[in-house]
A = this chain, B = another copy of it.
């Protein structure tokens, strides 16, 4: 009889403990997501990052940011892109991505009719799209996360004048077909006019994204303008071409500011040929792009304001800021 009582008591105690420790294993659904377990997705949710020239070192940190956000949010990612800067290829890849119905797409896109058409298809399929690095003028794009390229050009102007000193002519070598570089040029020339009105910009040459062409253009400028003392090269290949021209002409004393973190650029900075390069906040581009897409897909934003008041769901622009790579800190930029 005593044994039976003891058994009953044990059973009751066990039941009490069971009640105490029991946690529901399913996630309670709520329009505001899951209040108790934080912001979290499912591992089979796939988000895609799509770039151009996808093999370039430039994208490594952006992809790392995209991956880091996915890890923290418990979702999955894919990375795809074009091998060259090719709008037709990018539109094809974008359509292939859309066919797989991902939860969201972060695109470093080429603003072309083909890509714009494909973006409309993403919208029709209910797939949110944000743009990173390159702005694309499309109503489908919900946010831009990247460098304020006008500001980058303005900062390049201020830095170049500081490096060159009180006198000396300046020039720009750019790829004229790229919107990001057009913005950098605008920031550079307008800042020069507003803050350094006596400074002369003797030429804006088109390197066409080729270091050979950029070198040719830089050589022509160096020949034509003996007082040329500083060049703003608005992207990787332009920077390399101008650096090669400077080395070739033994005019190492011209100051060169460029925008990239390519290993050839780092080497030229170490050698003192390139004075400084603007580094972009690429990790933040990838990280916040995935956060934004996740927020749209999980309805975590202010949907009422959006539908009733036409207030955009996401911030229109997220500017990730820049910093300068110089001889003093260049060693930190080599891959480890």
Segment from A82-90, A93-101, A163-171, A278-286 that makes contact with B: A278-286
Segment from A175-183, A219-227, A236-244, A310-318 that makes contact with B: A310-318
A53, CB-defined interface residue at 8 Å: no
A37, CB-defined interface residue at 8 Å: yes
Residues of B close to A29: CB separation below 8 A: none
Residue interface bits A50-70, CB-to-B below 8 A is 1, else 0:
000000000001001100100
Instruction: Tell me the bound Cα distance from A233 to B56 in angstroms.
Output: 48
Instruction: Tell me the bound Cα distance from A288 to B11 in angstroms.
Output: 51
Cβ-neighbour of A18 out of B14, B320, B329 (below 8 A): B14
Residues of B close to A329: CB separation below 8 A: 308-310
Residues of B close to A3: CB separation below 8 A: 4
A26, CB-defined interface residue at 8 Å: no
Least distance between A59 CB and chain B CB atoms (Å):
15
Which residue of chain B lies nearest to A332 when distances are taken between CB atoms in the complex? B308
A10, CB-defined interface residue at 8 Å: yes
Cβ-neighbour of A38 out of B22, B34, B68 (below 8 A): B34
Which residue of chain B lies nearest to A319 when distances are taken between CB atoms in the complex? B317
Residues of B close to A114: CB separation below 8 A: none
Instruction: Tell me the bound Cα distance from A188 to B24 in angstroms.
Output: 57
Contact A305 B38 (CB under 8 A): no
A159, CB-defined interface residue at 8 Å: no
Max chain B C-beta neighbours (<10 A), residue from A32, A68, A305, A317: A305
Which residue of chain B lies nearest to A146 when distances are taken between CB atoms in the complex? B315
Which residues of A from 1 to 36 have beta carbons under 8 Å from B?
A: 3-4, 7-8, 10-11, 14-15, 17-18, 21-23, 25, 32-36
Which residue of chain B lies nearest to A333 when distances are taken between CB atoms in the complex? B309
Which residue of chain B lies nearest to A280 when distances are taken between CB atoms in the complex? B311
Instruction: Tell me the bound Cα distance from A317 to B284 in angstroms.
Output: 12
A323, CB-defined interface residue at 8 Å: yes
Instruction: Tell me the bound Cα distance from A15 to B7 in angstroms.
Output: 13
Max chain B C-beta neighbours (<10 A), residue from A71, A73, A310: A310
A145, CB-defined interface residue at 8 Å: yes
Contact A312 B21 (CB under 8 A): no
Known: A10-B11, A145-B315. A283 touches B302 (CB 8 A): yes
Instruction: Tell me the bound Cα distance from A10 to B281 in angstroms.
Output: 59
Instruction: Tell me the bound Cα distance from A11 to B281 in angstroms.
Output: 58
Residues of B close to A41: CB separation below 8 A: 38
A40, CB-defined interface residue at 8 Å: yes
Interface residues of A (CB under 8 A from B): 3-4, 7-8, 10-11, 14-15, 17-18, 21-23, 25, 32-41, 61, 64-65, 68, 71-74, 145, 148, 279, 281, 283-284, 287-288, 291, 300-302, 305, 308-312, 314-321, 323-325, 329, 332-333
Q: Give 24 CB contacts A-B under 8 Å.
A: A3-B4, A4-B4, A7-B11, A14-B14, A17-B18, A34-B38, A35-B71, A36-B74, A39-B73, A61-B302, A68-B300, A145-B315, A148-B317, A281-B312, A283-B301, A284-B302, A308-B332, A310-B324, A312-B320, A316-B320, A316-B321, A317-B318, A317-B321, A318-B318
